[in-house]
Amino acid sequence: MNALEKLKRFVDETANTVHYDTTKIDVGGTKKIDHGILTLETLTFVLKSNAYIMGNPGTGKTSSVNKLGSLITGIPLSIADAVQIRGSPEETKESIIGRPDFGELSSGREKALFAHGHYFLFLEIDEINRLKAGKQNMLLQGMQSGIWVYMDDFLMNKDRAIIATGNHQDEGNGEIIAPLMDRFGMAFEIPPLDSTFERIDMKLANKRAAKILSNSDIETKILKTLMDKQLTHTAKQEAVAKLCSQFQESIKRSGVYLLSEADKEEITEAIEDKGISNEGLFFLEAVYQEINFSHKYGFKRPSDPPLKQDDIDYAYAGASVKRGIGNRAIEDMYRFTKAFAFLDEAKLATPDHAKKALKYVLNHRLEFTPDFESKAINHFRKDMMQMGLTDLLLEEIGGRFNNEAKTLVNALYHAMGERDENGKVVRKGTEDIEGLPRDIKEKVLSSKYPPLVTFRRKYLNTKEDAAGKKKS
């Protein structure tokens, strides 16, 4: 089996045994993927990314994460449920990160007892949007660096996925702060069952999961290891990892197909090695520039005044959002565009793969203006509002990109040089526009389209005022 076949087999068998999932996702190109939510969750685990999963109460958000975490990392299901961080306004730093070891403290040594969830190869944060903003801030450093700090002690756990769940906003929860949202590579929704008749299939899957994903002997050993104060943090992590490997072997003996570490590395490499077409590369650039670029203010900031209809920027995506996107978003845009092309079995990632992937990469990072929300209120959608708005924004960007693509591609080919399927330069560019066809040259010099304006400033060193006119 190749990397994609291994991924599909794991997802299919998981859906047919321990977790019922009939969702489909459009990955662009020619395919819609069965068991769509399980596929997105599996990609998050395999790529060691972070994800935010939303939905109504009782739709299986927490259980799906715990089941997949059990299969992929080897943590028994009951332990996964016990060690997750639970979102609550009353949570403290001691329950989220760690607490003092009072025995050591009384001897004059500062040592922390970290929350048990930090010792495993995945961490779930349940109902994260119930945490107050100040409590959410505690998660930023650990989610970014994989290093959790309490007093003068620290615990390092870098190579793992962090998945958070949250109910749709109601009186019992609130918003997630922007810096925390930006640390999630993707965000998606788990819908309710299509029919009440599906409850039998779901109950059977849960029953099988309770049987297959448990082992009382290993669970007891894991709990004793977590409670052992004599072990160093590293020794505790190593002991837990060994027990989780033993648990995975017991799962295999029950006939369940699992991804090995070599399989996960193979899938990761196949995604990383996936090329992006030139048009795909320039579409990603167009999305980034439309959201971030501003003729009037240089780039998009939350503090900027709202744009007026006669401003040049009003015609582009930046007028529809309250803030731009940053470097983490760029990396996720490229990574998941490649992942969607991988799922589609495409040779190269195209603008279509990018559009489908970016709906999941950007929806939680963007805050839309009231004007755009009101314009989109009657837009047909099957997704939650935030994803529907993101989908509409990408459609609008795609329309402008199609109108400008020939000019943009020709100009960038000429200035930057041609690139191979992996984005590497195979012909060095001239870094000027001499030699371009006259009509294209004129459009490059006069267009207000953000990617072309950025191109002029970067490669032609032009200086322009807020109206897009060249300064002498």
CA distance 37 to 212: 21
CA distance 365 to 332: 11
DSSP structural state of residue 251: H
Q: Which pLDDT belongs to residue 273?
A: 94
Q: Which pLDDT belongs to residue 106?
A: 63
Query: Domains of the chain, with CATH numbers?
Result: 3-260 (3.40.50.300), 273-460 (no CATH)
Q: What is the pLDDT along the chain (472 residues), one digit of tens a residue?
A: 999 999 999 999 999 999 999 999 999 988 899 999 999 999 999 999 999 999 999 889 999 999 999 999 999 999 999 999 998 888 888 889 988 887 666 666 668 889 999 999 999 999 999 999 888 999 998 998 999 998 888 999 988 899 999 998 877 788 999 999 999 999 999 999 888 888 888 899 999 999 999 999 999 999 999 999 889 999 999 999 999 999 999 999 989 999 999 999 999 999 999 999 888 988 999 999 999 988 888 888 888 888 888 888 889 999 999 999 999 999 999 999 999 999 999 999 999 999 999 999 999 999 999 989 987 777 777 788 899 999 999 999 999 999 888 787 777 777 766 666 555 666 676 666 677 778 888 888 888 899 888 888 777 665 554 444 555 4
Q: Which pLDDT belongs to residue 295?
A: 84
CA neighbor of 176 nearest in space, from 140, 122, 123, 124: 140
E strands along 94-179, which residues? 98-100, 112-114, 122-126, 147-150, 153-156, 161-167
Residues 156 and 149: beta-carbon distance below 8 Å: no
Contacts of 178 (CB under 8 A, 6+ apart): 323, 365, 367
DSSP structural state of residue 160: S
Residues 40 and 26: beta-carbon distance below 8 Å: no
CA neighbor of 136 nearest in space, from 88, 187, 100: 88
CA distance 308 to 442: 28
CA distance 317 to 276: 23
Tokens representing 291?
């959201």
Three-class secondary structure of residue 54 per DSSP: strand
Q: Which pLDDT belongs to residue 466?
A: 45
Q: Which pLDDT belongs to residue 186?
A: 97
CA neighbor of 118 nearest in space, from 256, 287, 236: 236
CA distances from 167 to 40, 87, 302, 336 (A): 18, 11, 26, 24
CA distance 361 to 10: 24
Q: How many other β-carbons are positioned within 10 Å of the β-carbon of residue 247?
A: 25
CA distance 194 to 23: 9
pTM of the model: 0.91
CA distance 340 to 33: 10
Q: Where are the alpha helices (DSSP H) in 254-384?
A: 261-272, 278-292, 327-343, 351-362, 370-375
User: What is the identity of the amino acid at 253?
Assistant: R
CA distance 21 to 39: 10
If you search the block for the tokens 């295999």, which residue do you land on?
252
CA distance 128 to 89: 10
CA distance 52 to 387: 13
Residues 128 and 166: beta-carbon distance below 8 Å: yes
Q: Which pLDDT belongs to residue 121?
A: 92
